[in-house]
Structure 1
Amino acid sequence: MKDFTKELNFKTSRSSGAGGQNVNKVETSVTVLWKVEDSEFFDEDQKVLIQNKLKNKINAEGFLFLTVSESRTQLANKKKAIEKILEIVDKSLFIHKKRVATKPSKGQKQKRLDNKKKLSDKKENRKFKF
């Protein structure tokens, strides 16, 4: 996992929710912003991959942004925001292997046919015969 925290910008705002009077006067919610295109830590292919996989989290100006307001302290929210954005970017860089289609083996085919035959015989034996 690459640590590109030096490229992150932070904005604070007032959180909503529990906290009493603290909510009304302290800016504890943290929004982390990262300009994907200007990153020096990733090459062009990686930037394109990040932009494609996280396009719903990137705004029109090209900023990947994430807001955290889970904790009642700004510092805790900032740490959580850094962890989350590093994790999201790391996951977006993972490339899944292509699945190679395979045919069923002769043994599997025979087993399936045997099971069908057993079931057919079982149902045939249930019929009333004179």
Structure 2
Amino acid sequence: MLQITPTVFIPDAELSERFIRAPGPGGQNVNKVASAVQLRFDAAGSSALPEDVRRRLVQLAGRRADQDGVITIEAHRFRERERNREDARERLAGLIRQALHRPKRRIATKPTRASRERRLQAKQVQSRLKQQRRRPSDD
């Protein structure tokens, strides 16, 4: 069971792990030992998370999520299989914690009169500077 918060957890039945050979340098050992882990979690079909959290999670996962809402996390930072397994699980838990946080709704505001005037004043100053850089005309 993957504990996310004191009240939210993901059952092991919803996670699938596959051990693969790690990419990159490592000598002879890297070609023989499957120490990297590929953790898959079906976020769209998970019963442990509410609907809004599932949508945010798939959106946060970005390219790690496929069209069906399955999130794949690959971990190959460490040489040991168990440490890579813990790393992948912790990264998934971090992603879910982020999705659990509901973003604040943005309230549209209008710029103040003073800020509009400052902006226009700055544009006039910039315009004068550019006019002074121009080559004088032959009038």
Normalised to the residue count of structure 1, the TM-score between the two structures is: 0.70
Match of 1:127 in 2: none
Matches within 5 A, 1:42-121: 42-100=49-107
Q: 1:50-97, CA deviations, whole angstroms, 9 ceiling, x for partnerless residues?
A: 223334321133310110100001111000000001101211232222
Give the Å deviation of 1:98.
Answer: 2.9
Is 1:13 aligned to 2:20, yes or no?
yes
Unaligned 5+ runs, structure 1: 106-130
Q: Percent of pairs identical after alignment?
A: 27
**If you compute each CA radius of gyration, which structure gives the higher value, 1 or 2?**
1
Would you say the 8 A contact 2:57–2:95 is kept in 1?
Answer: no
Count how many residue pairs are aligned between Structure 1 and Structure 2: 122
Match of 1:26 in 2: 33
Counterpart secondary structure, 1:54: helix
Unaligned 5+ runs, structure 2: 113-139
Question: Matched residues in 2 for 1:76 and 1:14: separation?
Answer: 15
